[in-house]
Chains A and B, each alone.
Chain A
Amino acid sequence: MKILVNGKRKDVPEGTSLSAYLEIEGLDPQLVSMELNGRIVEREEWASTGLNEDDELEILFFMGGGL
């Protein structure tokens, strides 16, 4: 199925959870926060939250630098 991740079309298997998606992309869950269809999903719910066709997912990265 097709979803939109950070504005880009992505093809993911049916029933992929948010945790599974991070694993597919090789992203460390500690580095990000995730927003699904405009709502932040709490970290504890990533494993139980499934992606659906046409979902809009934003993966937001911690950026701690500044000095």
Chain B
Amino acid sequence: MEMTEDQIHRYSRHILLSEVGGSGQVKLLNSSVLIVGAGGLGSPVALYLAAAGVGHIGIVDMDVVDLSNLQRQVIHHSKDIGRPKVLSASEKMTGLNPDVEVKTYQVLLNSENAREIAAPYDVIIDGTDNFSAKFLINDLAVLTGKPLVHGGILRFSGQVMTIVPGQSACYRCIFREPPPAGAIPTCSEAGVLGVIAGVVGSIQATEVLKFLLGKGELLTNHLLTYDALTVLIRKVGVRKNPRCPICGDNPTITELHDYEQPVCANPV
């Protein structure tokens, strides 16, 4: 694939980087990424991947934009209140970069539809806000062998981990199963400093670009934690857990499974 004059101009700051160059940029244009959640994490991920020229981006979210989202979900504007998040996000992404083909899925990702939705994509990004989704997405990644970039935020903190199934620790290697419903407050109950979503989502987007380019060291076998109040960023080493229920030596989870946990929906 040859880039046009406009594309060479648009991506010139990437092309200047020896780790990207023209060939890396073409790789990005030919890549596909699935973003689950068009919210706090999904906003920076979707905007930066679109700006970077990732050619095919899928975005999954069943919600509509609510006024309380706008404190952190920077892809949505005030005029989008009441509109499906995937449509609002898709417009901003293609408005930013018409090179990008965006496919929208206004559904709740579940054990029935997850494999089919994820099938066309090279990488999955978790931008969801509840443990049933986070564990489903981890299991989906492990069972289909697709790389996943996990992200989570709460209050003034966030975490990121990259999972390359078969090679590195998965989310369940650290967190075996979801906490009991109600044990952990959600952002809608406990609050979150909006910009934390920007920090964590931007790190997730960076991981995806590095993976697609095949450059640098990924956050595999590490859980990165960020605490804004102390400005402490820690990269905690983790290992593949032989007793992991899905990627360990004797896996007990062989199929996708929906956990009965309330989804953090907006009161619309």
Residues of A within 8 A of B (CB): 6-7, 28, 30-31, 33, 35, 38-40, 42-43, 58, 60-67
Using Cβ atoms and an 8 Å threshold, which residues of chain B touch A64? 129-131, 134, 152, 154, 184, 186
- Within the complex, the shortest CB–CB distance from A45 to chain B, in Å, comes to 10
Cβ of B174 under 8 Å from chain A: yes
Cβ-defined partner of B184 (8 Å) among A6, A7, A30: A30
Query: Judging by beta carbons under 8 Å apart, are A38 and B131 in contact?
Result: no
Cβ-defined partner of A35 (8 Å) among B130, B154, B157, B238: B238
What 5 A-B pairs are tightest by C-beta distance, nearest first?
Answer: A63-B152, A67-B39, A67-B129, A65-B187, A30-B183
Bound Cα distance from A65 to B42, whole angstroms: 12
B129-182: which residues lie under 8 A (CB-CB) from chain A?
Answer: 129-131, 134, 151-154, 157-159, 173-176, 179-180
B175-227: which residues lie under 8 A (CB-CB) from chain A?
Answer: 175-176, 179-180, 183-184, 186-187, 192, 197, 223, 225
Query: Judging by beta carbons under 8 Å apart, are A40 and B154 in contact?
Result: no
Residues of B within 8 A of A (CB): 37, 39-42, 63, 69, 73, 126-131, 134, 151-154, 157-159, 173-176, 179-180, 183-184, 186-187, 192, 197, 223, 225, 234, 236-239, 241, 243, 264
Task: Considering the complex, give the chain B residue whose CB is closest to the CB of A7.
Answer: B234
- Within the complex, the shortest CB–CB distance from A65 to chain B, in Å, comes to 4
Taking A39-B239, A40-B241, A62-B184 as contacts, is the C-beta distance between A67 and B174 under 8 angstroms?
Answer: no
Bound Cα distance from A67 to B243, whole angstroms: 31
Task: Considering the complex, give the chain A residue whose CB is closest to the CB of B183.
Answer: A30
Query: Judging by beta carbons under 8 Å apart, are B128 and A66 in contact?
Result: yes
Query: Judging by beta carbons under 8 Å apart, are B130 and A62 in contact?
Result: no
Bound Cα distance from A33 to B40, whole angstroms: 25
Bound Cα distance from A28 to B238, whole angstroms: 22
Query: Judging by beta carbons under 8 Å apart, are B234 and A6 in contact?
Result: yes
- Within the complex, the shortest CB–CB distance from B221 to chain A, in Å, comes to 10
